[in-house]
């Protein structure tokens, strides 16, 4: 298992590292190795700046901003990228996939919450990736079911999330195009990968009164073949769909690998 990055990335000399290492490291001890004083605060300050940045982009939901301010994004990216963890940028997470920009994550979760004052009920996330967005969601929902189709990333997310001990977050390995019927109906469904259309299973598994936010390939105002953010509300009378701004997500694929 790779040692988890501390923040900011600073390689300690062997001697200095030995000093702080526990005498007999327990399983996963590298994750919780005491950090030199001040580094924890540095990471909190960087996170706060990131929160201000997404606020400037128009995100107002204070619960979303608080959750973004508390999840340590640097723990979800490779050591070499730790210094970029709190920039508003997407970053590679392996297997050709990316962790979404903090601005996009908070925008989508704000849309998903749709002005809710309390926690969302059960939420389904398609595309766990490194697990970052799942962690943010777990602070804002009663239960989160997150599906990933790539075994390597499903395992990586499990490793990343283990030290956070989030009992309401359930990681699933499988094809998210079919949703996860066992957890349905969902108060909210969010996809981190974009397809040509919203798979019917997602709409079926959404509760009446529930909301789905997903990137879809659109032929709309942003041009053919580009992605836009879709908000779908399910009501007793049917579904209402609204297409918003252009976005760039990895493609939604079927099957597992």
Residues recognised as catalytic:
100
Positions touching ligand SAH (CB under 6 A) are 93, 97-100, 126-127, 129-130, 132-133, 147-150, 153, 175-177, 192-193, 250, 252-254
Taking the complex as a whole, how short is the minimal distance between the CB of residue 85 and ligand SAH, in angstroms? 12
Q: Is the dihedral of CA 43, 46, 52, 57 positive or negative?
A: negative
Q: Which is nearer to ligand SAH, 179 or 210 (CB)?
A: 179
Q: Which is nearer to ligand SAH, 39 or 231 (CB)?
A: 231
List, in order, residues 6 or more apart from 129 with CB less than 8 Å away: 93, 97, 98, 99, 100, 148, 153, 157, 192
Residue 226: CB atoms within 10 Å: 16
Q: Which is nearer to ligand SAH, 2 or 18 (CB)?
A: 2
Distance CA 59, CA 53 (A): 9
Q: Check: CB of residue 246 under 8 Å from CB of residue 222.
A: yes
Q: Which is nearer to ligand SAH, 173 or 185 (CB)?
A: 173
Taking the complex as a whole, how short is the minimal distance between the CB of residue 202 and ligand SAH, in angstroms? 11
Q: Check: CB of residue 91 under 8 Å from CB of residue 98.
A: yes
Taking the complex as a whole, how short is the minimal distance between the CB of residue 125 and ligand SAH, in angstroms? 7
Taking the complex as a whole, how short is the minimal distance between the CB of residue 153 and ligand SAH, in angstroms? 5
What is the full DSSP assignment across 70-123? HS-GGGGS-GGGGGGTTSS--EEEETTEEEPPHHHHHHHHHHHHTT-SS-EEEE
Q: Which is nearer to ligand SAH, 35 or 226 (CB)?
A: 226
Taking the complex as a whole, how short is the minimal distance between the CB of residue 72 and ligand SAH, in angstroms? 13
Burial class (CB in 10 A: 0-12, 13-18, 19+), 236: exposed
Angle at 172 between CA 140 and CA 230, to 5 degrees: 55
Pairing of strands 250-251, 91-94: unpaired
Q: Is the peptide bond before 191 cis (omega within 30 degrees of 0)?
A: no
């Amino acid at each position: 298992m790779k040692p988890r990055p501390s923040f900011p990335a600073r390689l300690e000399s062997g001697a200095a590292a030995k000093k702080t290492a526990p005498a007999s490291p327990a399983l996963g001890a590298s994750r919780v190795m005491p950090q030199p004083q001040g580094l924890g605060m540095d990471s909190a300050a960087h996170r706060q700046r990131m929160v201000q940045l997404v606020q400037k982009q128009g995100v107002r939901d204070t619960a979303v901003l608080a959750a973004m301010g508390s999840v340590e994004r640097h723990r979800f990216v490779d050591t070499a990228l730790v210094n970029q963890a709190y920039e508003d940028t997407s970053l590679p997470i392996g297997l050709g996939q990316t962790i979404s920009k903090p601005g996009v994550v908070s925008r989508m979760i704000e849309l998903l919450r749709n002005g809710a004052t309390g926690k969302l009920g059960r939420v389904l996330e398609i595309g766990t990736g490194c697990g970052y967005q799942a962690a943010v969601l777990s602070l804002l929902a009663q239960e989160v079911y997150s599906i990933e189709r790539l075994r390597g990333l499903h395992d990586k997310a499990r490793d990343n999330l283990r030290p956070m001990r989030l009992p309401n977050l359930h990681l699933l390995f499988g094809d998210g195009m079919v949703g996860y019927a066992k957890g349905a109906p969902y108060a909210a469904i969010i996809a981190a990968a974009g397809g040509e259309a919203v798979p019917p299973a997602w709409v079926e598994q959404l509760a009446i009164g529930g909301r789905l936010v997903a990137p879809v390939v659109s032929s709309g105002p942003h041009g053919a073949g580009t992605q836009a953010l879709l908000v779908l509300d399910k009501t007793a009378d049917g579904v209402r769909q609204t297409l918003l701004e252009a976005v760039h997500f990895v493609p939604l694929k079927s099957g597992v690998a």
